């Protein structure tokens, strides 16, 4: 059965939103795409699936991936409640990370069969879009061998992570995604061992540029670079 490839992506801007609400939104879109593929294949139809990118930020929250170690959360439940934080065990890959105000969160809910079927390539293209975005604002970033994400001082012995990645895929449909630290309060990373990696610092665009940065401007640059590396067409959807 031939696949009808759809390289258009609807950009849904969720704004500052509770983590659970955004996760529910992801799950709904993800399951819709997966179910469409299953049903259409059963009926031996030509398949056309939709693609989405959700952008948002969250109130202070820690999330632990399915292969993560809860020991990498360095605070207890009493501290979490007292400081009005949230903690979720979720179904993405990777270990523990922090989300909060001043970050750009990108959740691609896409059918990779519309583009390519290679998870490694998918992760590297997400990283590449971030690297290109940082390059536009004169921040040199790159990859560290054996580690996911985007790093500053990536060629040194003391790299600093500026963007974390963690994804889930099923039937070539993706969810979860990346978190880029823009004007993030980095003290919240002190409560965890970020991504379960000992001895690696975390940084932000503000920290590297020594000034507050316009988040919508960075978000637009990042979406534009995602469209370049994945070769998709963006459809705006203000929600």
CATH number at residue 77: 3.30.930.10
Q: Please give the mean pLDDT across all residues of the chain.
A: 93
Query: How many domains is the chain built from?
Result: 1
Give tens-digit pLDDT for 56-115. Answer: 999 999 999 998 999 999 999 999 999 999 999 999 988 999 999 999 999 999 999 999
Give tens-digit pLDDT for 200-225. Answer: 899 999 999 999 999 999 999 999 99
DSSP secondary structure letter of residue 91: S
Tokens standing for 34? 């997966």
Residue at 223 is within a domain: yes
| pLDDT (0 to 100) of residue 199 | 79
In the chain, what's the furthest Cα-to-Cα distance?
A: 57
Would you place residue 39 in the very low, low, confident or very high pLDDT band (cuts 50, 70, 90)? confident
Q: Could you say which of 162, 195, 218, 223 is catalytic? A: 195
pLDDT at 19 over 50: yes
Residue at 80 is within a domain: yes
Identify whether 163 is a catalytic site residue. no
Residue at 68 is within a domain: yes
| pLDDT (0 to 100) of residue 17 | 98
Q: What is the pTM of this model?
A: 0.94
Residue at 77 is within a domain: yes
* C-beta of residue 77 within 8 angstroms of C-beta of residue 103: no
More confident residue, 2 or 166: 166
Residue at 66 is within a domain: yes
* C-beta of residue 175 within 8 angstroms of C-beta of residue 90: no
Domain membership of residue 106 as a residue range: 8-233
* C-beta of residue 127 within 8 angstroms of C-beta of residue 143: yes
| pLDDT (0 to 100) of residue 237 | 61
Residue at 239 is within a domain: no
Residue at 1 is within a domain: no
Residue at 93 is within a domain: yes
C-alpha distances out from residue 229 to 72, 130, 235, Å: 33, 10, 16
| pLDDT (0 to 100) of residue 2 | 57
Per-residue b/e over 10-35, b at no fewer than 16 CB within 10 Å? bbbebeebebeebbebbeebbeebbe
Listed as own residue / partner, the contacts of 31-39 with beta carbons closer than 8 Å and 24 or more positions apart are 33/109, 33/111, 33/173, 34/170, 34/171, 34/173, 37/111, 37/113, 37/171, 37/173, 38/171
């Amino acid at each position: 059965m031939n696949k009808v490839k759809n390289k258009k992506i609807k950009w849904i801007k969720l704004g500052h939103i509770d983590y659970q609400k955004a996760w529910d939104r992801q799950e709904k879109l993800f399951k819709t795409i997966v179910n469409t593929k299953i049903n259409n294949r059963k009926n031996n139809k030509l398949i056309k699936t939709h693609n989405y990118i959700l952008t948002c930020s969250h109130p202070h929250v820690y999330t632990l991936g399915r292969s993560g170690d809860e020991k990498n959360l360095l605070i207890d439940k009493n501290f979490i409640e007292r400081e009005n934080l949230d903690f979720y065990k979720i179904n993405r890959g990777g270990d523990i990370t922090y989300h909060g105000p001043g970050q750009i969160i990108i959740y691609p809910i896409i059918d990779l069969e519309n583009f390519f079927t290679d998870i490694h390539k998918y992760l590297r293209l997400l990283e590449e879009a971030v690297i290109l975005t940082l390059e536009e604002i004169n921040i040199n970033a790159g990859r560290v061998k054996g580690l996911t994400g985007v790093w500053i001082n990536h060629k040194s012995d003391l790299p600093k992570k500026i963007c974390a990645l963690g994804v889930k895929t099923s039937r070539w449909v993706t969810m979860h995604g990346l978190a880029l630290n823009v004007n993030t309060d980095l003290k919240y990373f002190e409560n965890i061992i970020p991504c379960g990696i000992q001895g690696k610092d975390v940084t932000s665009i503000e920290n590297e540029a020594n000034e507050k940065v316009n988040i919508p401007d960075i978000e637009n640059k990042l979406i534009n670079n995602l469209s370049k590396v994945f070769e998709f067409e963006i459809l705006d959807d203000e929600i």
